[in-house]
């Protein structure tokens, strides 16, 4: 008995393309004598379809696509994820296809409604087990959240398929859906997933699935989607556990792949295990995949970015070149009267080493025109951040003009530490279509720079060791206005990712004035973040779908 895992890169809404991709994997799996092909969650339409799921015509088109897929399946059982509408009820579904026919359909029981997930907005929960037989082995089907044991309707304890739902929450023993599959006779659990990446996510998956194995006694085959979808990156990393919870198969991260799990009776035999990546390699690979798919799936011919000679733009440039190829990347150095000579020297070296197209456009003449136009309005007023922001906005305007002419998308270079504290200029360095480092703290930027240089030395060491500066006034450094980045990042992580209050953060060893400063900046910068480009999420909580704070907000912590 051989189960094939289709770790595929689906595109939301590309029904014809997704069907073609699944059929290609069907043919490859059948060529390797596989008996079952398991696809990811909602593979037919891509994940997450968001408010497409509120459209009746979307379900009709998905049904037609499912029928086309079924017509192309023979000689193998295919488990495919898709949305389904029954009357006015809508479900996150998985269907079993054999010899051109749908022989069984499962509706996801537990609908996640936390962090980036919003499935209760779209779907009704299912409550019936789905079990099918291949070569005398009985397979149960679950979908992603069903196995996590955090929520979902409890099931009537009838011990049979076709059961009806009881009201109530999940039992203390764990997730209900895997137990329902076991009670309905399943011997092996097949799990379809669209589980987005964040750091340390894979270990969490292992831990959760091992609990399900311990509760049910069933081996688990876990198929996860791969690819970038707006701010989300799906890392694949599909795997299998035997009935003792031992890892028997591990597929690669961040790439499409077809894997095979061999069963001996109803248990998984040891197979191929791809070695894990280092933490920095994981994040770097996630960023490259996010850029590649955002640019490619949206049809942009390339990317533009402002190259400053600083570390953020250097890392962004390396990621862009690695993701889509140097020939599609245009770096623009826009020096001002405050730009250090070494910044220009380092920028040229970075562009040359990566082989990207490079331009220099001095902004002083444009800045002077702005200042002349505003001279009457500014008369008698001292220079301040206004003049600094004009420089940033001149650069943003130049990049957007080049974008309009070429069709390439501007990628911004600001990091999470800057987005958190508002250390960025609206319509200036925030101008663009995609924020590569939006969820990357400053200290992680340094780690990524050092990691990339282990592959080939493309970022000058001086860029890594220099004090970071916006270079918008004489002798400026970031630390003129901010706590040291290691302190800032730790406070921000505690507040943003762990919801800790200022008193808790101070109790963890941080100075009260630093905590006050960072929390205050986080609070007052919400209006900027709401206008920032979408960016790649790599932490458990980024400034995107799972950050929903009000702009108009008078709440103050007791600590304030």
Task: For tokens 């006779």, name the residue.
Answer: 185
- The CATH code of the domain that includes 190 is 3.60.110.10
- pLDDT (0 to 100) of residue 557: 79
Strand, helix or coil at 103?
strand
With beta carbons less than 8 A apart as the criterion, state whether 125 and 550 touch: no
With beta carbons less than 8 A apart as the criterion, state whether 227 and 9 touch: yes
Sheet holding 434-435, edge to edge: 357-360, 329-333, 303-306, 409-412, 434-435
Q: State how many domains the chain has.
A: 2
The Cβ of residue 288 has, within 10 Å, a number of other Cβ atoms equal to 22
- pLDDT (0 to 100) of residue 166: 47
Contacts with 232 (C-beta within 8 Å, 6 or more apart), sequence order: 48, 116, 196, 197, 537, 545
Q: Tell me the two tokens of residue 445.
A: 């930027």
Residues of the chain with pLDDT under 70: 150-174, 470-473, 475-480, 558-560
- pLDDT (0 to 100) of residue 339: 87
With beta carbons less than 8 A apart as the criterion, state whether 181 and 141 touch: yes
**Whether residues 168 and 317 fall in one domain:** no
**Whether residues 248 and 292 fall in one domain:** no
Residues in the chain, total: 560
Sheet holding 2-7, edge to edge: 101-107, 89-98, 77-86, 36-38, 2-7, 257-264, 267-268
- pLDDT (0 to 100) of residue 151: 46
- pLDDT (0 to 100) of residue 558: 64
* Average pLDDT over the chain, rounded to an integer: 92
Q: Of 235, 269, 303, which residue constitutes the final position of a domain?
A: 269
For the annotated catalytic residues, the residue numbers are 41, 108, 144
Q: Tell me the two tokens of residue 540.
A: 């458990």
Domain for residue 484, yes or no?
no
Q: Name the DSSP letter for residue 406.
A: H
* Longest alpha-carbon distance in the chain: 88
With beta carbons less than 8 A apart as the criterion, state whether 220 and 191 touch: yes
Backbone angles phi, psi at 522, to 5 degrees: -60, -45
**Whether residues 254 and 303 fall in one domain:** no
Task: Provide the domain limits for residue 206.
Answer: 2-269
C-alpha 239/C-alpha 250 separation (Å) is 4
- The CATH code of the domain that includes 366 is 3.40.50.620
- ω into residue 379 within 30 of 0, thus cis? no
Q: Of 242, 269, 296, which residue constitutes the final position of a domain?
A: 269
């Amino acid at each position: 008995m051989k189960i094939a895992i289709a770790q595929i890169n689906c595109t939301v809404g590309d029904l014809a393309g997704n069907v073609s991709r699944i059929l290609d994997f069907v043919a490859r799996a059948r060529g390797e004598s596989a008996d079952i092909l398991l696809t990811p969650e909602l593979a037919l339409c891509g994940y997450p379809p968001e408010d497409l799921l509120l459209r009746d015509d979307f379900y009709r088109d998905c049904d037609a696509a499912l029928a086309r897929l079924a017509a192309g399946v023979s000689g193998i059982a295919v488990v495919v994820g898709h949305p389904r509408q029954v009357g006015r009820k809508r479900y996150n579904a998985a269907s079993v296809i054999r010899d051109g026919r749908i022989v069984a359909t499962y509706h996801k029981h537990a609908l996640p409604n936390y962090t980036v997930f919003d499935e209760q907005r779209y779907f009704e929960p299912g409550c019936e087990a789905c079990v099918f037989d291949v070569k005398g082995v009985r397979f149960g089907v679950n979908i992603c959240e069903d196995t996590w044991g955090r929520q979902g309707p409890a099931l009537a304890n009838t011990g049979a398929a076709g059961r009806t739902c009881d009201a109530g929450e999940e039992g203390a023993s764990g997730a209900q859906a895997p137990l329902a599959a076991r009670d309905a006779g399943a011997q092996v659990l097949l799990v379809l997933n669209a589980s987005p990446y964040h750091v340390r996510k894979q270990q969490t998956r292992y831990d959760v699935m091992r609990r399900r194995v311990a509760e049910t006694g069933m081996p688990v085959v876990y198929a996860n989607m791969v690819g970038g979808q707006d701010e989300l990156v799906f890392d694949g990393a599909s795997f299998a556990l035997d009935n003792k919870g031992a890892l028997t198969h591990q597929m690669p991260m961040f790439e499409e792949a077809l894997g095979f799990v061999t069963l001996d009776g109803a248990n998984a035999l040891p197979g191929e295990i791809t070695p894990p990546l280092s933490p920095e390699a994981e994040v770097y690979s996630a960023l490259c995949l996010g850029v590649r798919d955002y640019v490619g799936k949206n049809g942009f011919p390339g990317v533009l970015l402002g190259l400053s000679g600083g570390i953020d733009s250097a890392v962004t440039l390396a990621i862009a070149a690695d993701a889509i190829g140097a020939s599609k990347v245009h770096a623009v150095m826009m020096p001002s009267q405050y730009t250090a000579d070494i910044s220009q020297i380092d920028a040229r070296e970075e562009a040359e080493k990566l082989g990207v197209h490079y331009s220099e456009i001095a902004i002083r003449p444009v800045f002077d025109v702005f200042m002349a136009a505003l001279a009457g309005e500014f008369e008698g007023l001292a220079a301040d951040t206004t003049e600094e922001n004009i420089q940033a906005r001149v650069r943003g305007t130049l990049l957007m003009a080049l974008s309009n002419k070429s069709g390439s998308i501007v990628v911004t270079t600001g990091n999470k530490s800057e987005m958190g504290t508002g250390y960025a200029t609206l319509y200036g360095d925030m101008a663009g279509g995609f924020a590569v480092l939006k969820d990357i703290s400053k200290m992680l930027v340094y780690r990524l720079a050092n990691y990339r240089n282990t592959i080939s030395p493309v970022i000058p060491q001086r860029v890594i060791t220099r004090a970071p500066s916006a270079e918008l006034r004489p002798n400026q450094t970031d630390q003129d206005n901010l706590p040291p980045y290691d302190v800032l990042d730790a406070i921000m992580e505690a507040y943003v990712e762990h919801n800790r209050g200022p008193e808790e953060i101070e109790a963890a060893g941080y100075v009260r004035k630093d905590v006050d400063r960072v929390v205050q900046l986080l609070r007052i910068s919400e209006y900027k973040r709401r206008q920032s480009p979408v960016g790649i999420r790599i932490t458990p909580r980024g400034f995107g779908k799972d950050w929903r704070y009000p702009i108009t907000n008078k709440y103050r912590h007791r600590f304030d």
